[in-house]
């Protein structure tokens, strides 16, 4: 962190400035210990005393970057640039926020400005070159892209049928090309032993799930019988061994034990391939009793940064990575349980007249846009105060208790369930019981110390019951093992 703030230490210190500097010093210590929430609090106290201090703002921007509050990080960095156009660290922070939001041209402009002011800054030059490569690659991909008939993956990739299975392969096999319970049991055991599903069967599962998902609506209606149990899980984020623990605690999926997994199956955790094939396998085995919703991390930009693309390239091929991108575009965006509970990954909307019919009519076969209903379903977050607020993420919106109440009244819903945020106990009940968050990745990224949770309810009263659980051990592969170099750039570099 910036330490002296340009203060002449021999001169008498203004008591107000001294107080602010003390807050900054405390924040710096918290930051070094990775206590980012505490650091944020201290930087905010300093900024309340000096709202236009570029150093305080840039430091808080970096803290927001570490917390992945990219919208707030961008706002602080931009304010710092306006307050002091010569303070180059602010441009670094803003560039990192732009990168996280997929705004690579704007990031490049900031990196190039710093390079022009500091031509011998090797780190900035490297970041500018990396960003330039991305901008050129995106421009090239756009230039060569052509409209193609809307063929299924199986129609496009007919060559997969001719793949030979080596004699030495002893892993799980599809039966007549279909997923069976025996296959799923063998697949999960295979993954527990850190082995790999043969590429022919992996390709086949992707082709089969592609055909199925194309037929689904953007909002899926689910009927839960009165005496039946139903389970909702939140983010898994590539934590395969914790996914196995959920099934141990709550039972394997079956027609009598249905599940809904509410997005963010992949990225960050380094067993995302194992998670996604397990989930896709159960979807094919129990199509009417196992449900999957799209999260904000089931998208190309997130996958390229946070590890899923790198993991697929390491374990399989570029072709398979592209197939996942296509399949994710067809995942449903939300589910409605017994016409009483709406489940989506992110949250509610900046418009106050959105109906369930509006959600059913969303054209979802695309990468998530930066605004609109699809974006907000995947990215929005609740806030404690009434009304709408700017998104801390820079995408979507933040919505208050009054927004949730009005949406539920308009659509005759009891409450909503969403995921998307780490919670200490794995869940949180907010907005007078009408907004529930569930997060199912315990000790997120091996650092957060949170519990995971899942929700169970029955069709009769739809009352949510919560089960929290601790993380279980996993093989010695660290989270973010497959993340790209973009991730370190988004973290904002060193303070």
Fold classification of 15-144 is 1.25.40
Name the least confident of 12-26, 123-137, 179-193.
Answer: 123-137
DSSP E strands in 121-267: the ranges are: 219-222, 229-233, 259-261
**251-289 as b/e: b if 16+ CB within 10 A:** eebeeebbbbbbbbbbbbbbbbbbbbbbbbbbbbbbeeb
> Which pLDDT band, with edges at 50, 70 and 90, does 320 fall under?
very high
pLDDT-wise least confident of 5-9, 258-262, 464-468: 5-9
CA triplet 20, 22, 26: central angle to 5 degrees? 120
Task: List helix spans (H) across 145-271.
Answer: 153-156, 181-192, 199-214, 240-250
Nearest in space to 129 (alpha carbons), one of 489, 459, 469, 493: 489
438 DSSP 8-state letter: E
CATH 1.25.40.10, the chain: domain bounds: 15-144
Find how far residue 405's CA is from the centre of its chain: 26
Q: Give me the pLDDT at residue 421, please.
A: 97
Q: What is the DSSP string of 467-483?
A: EEE------S--TTTT-
All CATH 3.60.21.10 domain ranges of the chain, comma separated, are 153-487
**For 423-457, how does the pLDDT look when each residue is reduced to its tens digit (9 = 90+)?**
999 999 999 999 999 999 999 999 999 999 999 99
* Residue 8 pLDDT level (bands cut at 50, 70, 90): low
User: Catalytic: which of 74, 297, 420, 431?
Assistant: 297
Confidence category of residue 2, pLDDT binned at 50, 70, 90? low
Average pLDDT rounded to a whole number, residues 12-21: 88
153-487 is classed CATH 3.60.21.10: yes
pLDDT higher than threshold 90 for residue 262: yes
Q: What share of the chain is helix, strand, coil (3-state, %, to 5)?
A: 45, 10, 40
Q: Where are the beta strands (DSSP E) in 252-353?
A: 259-261, 290-292, 334-337, 341-344
Tokens describing residue 465: 């019951």
The pTM (predicted TM-score) of the whole model is: 0.92
Antiparallel, parallel or unpaired: β 415-418 and 435-438:
parallel
pLDDT for the residue numbered 1: 54
* Residue the block writes with tokens 């400035």: 17
Does the annotation mark 237 as catalytic? no
Q: How far is CA 131 from the centre of its chain?
A: 22
26-31 own/partner pairs: CB under 8 Å, 24+ apart: 27/1, 27/59, 27/63, 28/1, 28/3, 28/59, 28/495, 31/1, 31/59, 31/62, 31/63, 31/66, 31/495
Token readout for 196 is: 């790999």
């Amino acid at each position: 962190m910036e330490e002296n703030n340009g203060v002449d230490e021999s001169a008498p210190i203004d008591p107000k400035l001294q107080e602010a500097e003390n807050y900054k010093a405390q924040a710096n210590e918290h930051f070094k210990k990775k206590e980012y929430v505490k650091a944020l609090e201290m930087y905010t106290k300093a900024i309340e005393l000096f709202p236009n201090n570029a150093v305080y703002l840039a430091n808080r921007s970096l803290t927001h970057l570490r917390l992945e509050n990219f919208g707030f990080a961008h706002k602080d960095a931009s304010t710092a640039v306006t307050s002091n156009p010569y303070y180059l660290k602010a441009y670094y922070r803003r560039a990192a926020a732009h990168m996280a939001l997929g705004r690579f041209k704007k990031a490049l402009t900031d990196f190039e400005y710093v390079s022009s002011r500091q031509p011998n800054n090797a780190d900035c030059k490297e970041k500018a070159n990396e960003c330039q490569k991305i901008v050129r690659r995106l421009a090239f991909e756009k230039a060569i892209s052509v409209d193609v008939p809307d063929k299924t993956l199986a129609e496009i990739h007919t060559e997969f049928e001719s793949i030979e299975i080596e004699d030495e392969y002893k892993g799980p096999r599809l039966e007549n090309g279909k997923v069976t319970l025996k296959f799923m049991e063998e697949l999960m055991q295979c993954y527990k032993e850190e082995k790999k599903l043969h590429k022919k069967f992996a390709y086949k599962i992707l082709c089969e799930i592609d055909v199925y998902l194309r037929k689904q609506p953007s909002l899926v209606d689910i009927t839960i019988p009165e005496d039946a149990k139903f389970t909702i899980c939140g983010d898994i984020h590539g934590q395969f061994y914790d996914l196995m623990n959920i099934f141990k605690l709550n039972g394997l999926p079956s027609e009598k034990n249905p599940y809904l997994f509410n997005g963010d199956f992949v990225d960050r955790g380094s067993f995302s391939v194992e998670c996604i094939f397990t989930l896709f396998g159960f979807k094919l085995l129990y199509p009417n009793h196992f449900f999957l919703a799209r999260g904000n991390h089931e998208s190309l930009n997130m996958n390229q940064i946070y590890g899923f693309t790198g993991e697929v390239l390491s374990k399989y091929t570029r072709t398979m990575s592209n197939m996942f991108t296509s399949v994710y575009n067809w995942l449903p965006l939300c589910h409605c349980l017994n016409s009483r509970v709406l489940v989506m990954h992110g949250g509610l909307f900046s418009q106050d007249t959105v109906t369930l019919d509006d959600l059913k009519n969303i054209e979802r076969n695309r990468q998530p846009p930066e605004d609109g209903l699809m974006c907000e379903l995947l990215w929005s977050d609740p806030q404690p105060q009434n009304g709408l607020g700017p998104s801390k993420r820079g995408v979507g919106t933040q919505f208050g208790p009054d927004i949730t109440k009005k949406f539920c009244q308009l659509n005759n819903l009891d409450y909503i369930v969403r995921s998307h945020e780490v919670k200490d106990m794995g869940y949180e009940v907010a907005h007078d019981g009408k907004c529930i968050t569930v997060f199912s990745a315990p000790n997120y990224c091996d650092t957060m110390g949170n519990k995971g949770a899942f929700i169970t309810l029955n069709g009769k009263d739809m009352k949510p019951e919560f089960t929290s659980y601790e993380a279980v051990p996993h093989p010695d592969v660290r989270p973010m093992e497959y993340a790209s170099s973009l991730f370190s750039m988004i973290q904002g570099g060193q303070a």
